Amino acid sequence: MKSATVLFRSSRAVAFALGALLCLGLEVHAQTDPLPSWNDGPAKQAIVAFVQATTDQSSMKFVPPAERIATFDQDGTLWVEQPMYSQVMYCLERVPALVKAKPELAKVEPFKTVMSGNREAMARLSFKDLMKILAATLTGMTVDEFQVQVANWTTTAKHPRFDRLYTELIYQPMLEVMHYLRDNGYKTYIVTGGGQDFVRVYAERVYGIPPEQVVGTAGGTKYGYDKTGKPILTKEPRLLLNDDKAGKPEGIHLMIGRRPHAAFGNSDGDRQMLEYTGAGDGARLMMLVLHDDAKREYAYGPAQGLPNSKVGTFTQALYDEAKAKGWIVISMKNDWNRIFAFE
């Protein structure tokens, strides 16, 4: 009876202490691993060490919350970019609707080839032809119409190999990094060579990244009025920002105006973004995803003797620069115990 009373008192004391802690606004939670899809190793350790150092006020590497900016390439860094950039897939798959609206295009190249469904012929389309398809499917409509078109595609179109929605082919380990950074006061941005308006349609739902934090290749819009006098913005075939290679730091300056403290990429298109990030004072984290897992995803890029690829080129020169500058190469095969959420 006495021990029961002690226990009771003790429980009350614990409950009181817990309550007091909660009242003080302190969070009581277990030390859960913020990066469960990452195997222990230099990549995971580098991320955790960076976050701990830059958020610890007693650290020389402390970064004030307002300056905590992290940028992520999208294709090949956050989601699958093989066998073709998803946005190019979107443009090709949009052609039938375009031809339905403008039947005269059915007899005109390159639309005729796309309508034929002949994949070999489509793969042989020239860069110029591809640009014609991109211009026809990405411009000419209002920004509101475009949003509806892309939203419909992202909720229906499926990847040829995985037979999953493209928005399911997000790398779970990278989602965890973004969450972990945000939980530690970082603003996460996408900085993509893909279309800014395209990525903005699903970025909030899929990555938790709002439209204003998506930097991408951007065309101009034209302000005008529809037949009822309502203001509209129409997408124009006029390039404002080619957000690739040198265009990435230029785009970061234009859209954010601050140098990132962390940058993640996977190809030569991200080299300048990582250089620019690394050139800042204090703690900086630069990482590159290496696609070396043909079984679970893909293996490509000349580095490490992997086969060549039309998209997402990770050259030997980039690999050498990464080694020389202390950028961390993430091996999908070795560093990630899970690639997709559905696994």
Q: Which residues bind a copy of itself (CB under 8 A)?
A: 22-23, 25, 66, 143, 187, 196-197, 200, 204, 210-212, 214, 218, 220-223, 230-231, 233, 240-241, 246-247, 249-250, 253-258, 272, 275-276, 279
CB-wise, 101 or 324, nearer to a copy of itself? Answer: 324
CB-wise, 89 or 233, nearer to a copy of itself? Answer: 233
The contacts of residue 152 (CB under 8 Å, 6+ apart) are none
Residue 299's closest CA among 244, 339, 271?
A: 339
CB-wise, 83 or 220, nearer to a copy of itself? Answer: 220
Rg (CA), the chain: 24
Question: CA 201, CA 339: separation in Å to the nearest integer?
Answer: 23
Question: CA 142, CA 154: separation in Å to the nearest integer?
Answer: 19
Shortest spacing between CB 124 and a copy of itself, in angstroms: 34
CB-wise, 105 or 191, nearer to a copy of itself? Answer: 191
Shortest spacing between CB 248 and a copy of itself, in angstroms: 8
CB-wise, 17 or 121, nearer to a copy of itself? Answer: 17
Shortest spacing between CB 159 and a copy of itself, in angstroms: 26
Buried b (16+ CB within 10 A) or exposed e, 51-65: bebbbeeeeeeebee
Characterize the bridge pairing of strands 262-265 and 231-241.
unpaired
The 3-state DSSP class for residue 329 equals strand
Q: Which two tokens stand for residue 3?
A: 């021990």
Shortest spacing between CB 185 and a copy of itself, in angstroms: 13
CB-wise, 18 or 123, nearer to a copy of itself? Answer: 18
CB-wise, 110 or 269, nearer to a copy of itself? Answer: 269
Q: Is 282 in contact with 261 (CB distance < 8 Å)?
A: yes
Shortest spacing between CB 239 and a copy of itself, in angstroms: 10
Shortest spacing between CB 202 and a copy of itself, in angstroms: 13
Shortest spacing between CB 31 and a copy of itself, in angstroms: 24
Question: CA 150, CA 90: separation in Å to the nearest integer?
Answer: 8
Question: CA 206, CA 168: separation in Å to the nearest integer?
Answer: 8
The contacts of residue 99 (CB under 8 Å, 6+ apart) are 105, 106, 111, 115
